[in-house]
Amino acid sequence: MNKLLSIALLFSSISYADIDIGDDFEVGGLVAAEAFNLKFGKLKKVVGEIKDEDILGSWDCTSYALTASDDPSYQTENGGNGQVGTGYFDSLTGRLILSEQDSESSLSSPKNYTIDTTDLINRENIDDGFYTLLLNKLHLFGDRGEGNPIEHYINYNINMTDDNRMILSSDMGNVFNPGVICEKVE
């Protein structure tokens, strides 16, 4: 009974997620353990703990800001993509690279991040620094310059929709671009 309850809770907790777990199994058909494990592995990644190895690598990201914000970084003439169709958002694309020097967890040994487009995931003009992954949140640390030490300046909730796609969202009040969608570069 506990396993049935656990499975029910698992499915109810991921109802918000946009996850592709493949085709449905055929009624009355045999299911290979490999296919079953693949589906549950994808579900576990959505509701389970995200690890450094899940996010390390290069990601092509698109960040969105309200058109009404009139942010020059998102304007076409300044390198942004401009307005998305006739909608209410402007977009900006760039690459986020998450890398490591050792195999320790980022909690005990912070990892590196580099962004090739200013304002892509933060408004601090900090395009490189360190990250720590804690409680499925990407915590960014960087040097604001002017003799300030490296400090924590933003965190993002991570929603892994599959192995090659993550959505970064922040509920911090000072975040100007709270939603970023990233696709892993193969």
The answer to whether residues 23 and 39 touch, using CB atoms and an 8 Å cutoff, is no
What pLDDT does 144 receive? 73
Contacts of residue 96, Cβ cutoff 8 Å, sequence gap at least 6: 58, 59, 61, 113, 114, 115, 120, 121, 182
Q: What is the pLDDT of residue 82?
A: 87
Residues sharing a CB contact under 8 Å with residue 105, sequence separation 6 or more, in sequence order: 51, 52, 133
The list of the chain residues with pLDDT below 70 reads 1-33, 35-48, 147-149, 173-178
Q: What is the pLDDT of residues 72-93, one digit of tens each?
A: 888 888 788 888 889 888 899 9
What's the pLDDT score for residue 65? Answer: 85
Three-state SS at 171:
coil
What is the structure's pLDDT at 4?
Answer: 39
The listed CATH number (1.25.40, 2.40.128, 3.40.50, 1.10.3470) that belongs to domain 52-184:
2.40.128
- Look at residue 174 in the predicted model and tell me its pLDDT: 56
- Alpha carbons 46 and 184: distance in angstroms, whole number: 16
Comparing CA positions, the residue from 148, 163, 141, 143 lying closest to residue 44 is 163
Q: What six digits make up the tokens of 4?
A: 């049935």
Q: Is 85 left (phi over 0), alpha (psi -120 to 50) or beta?
A: left
Specify the pLDDT at position 110.
95
Contact, 183 vs 94, CB < 8 A? Answer: no
Q: Where are the domains of the chain?
A: 2-18+29-47, 52-184
Tens digits of residue pLDDT in 138-166: 999 988 777 666 888 888 999 999 889 99
Burial label, 95 (beta-carbon count in 10 A; 0-12, 13-18, 19+): middle
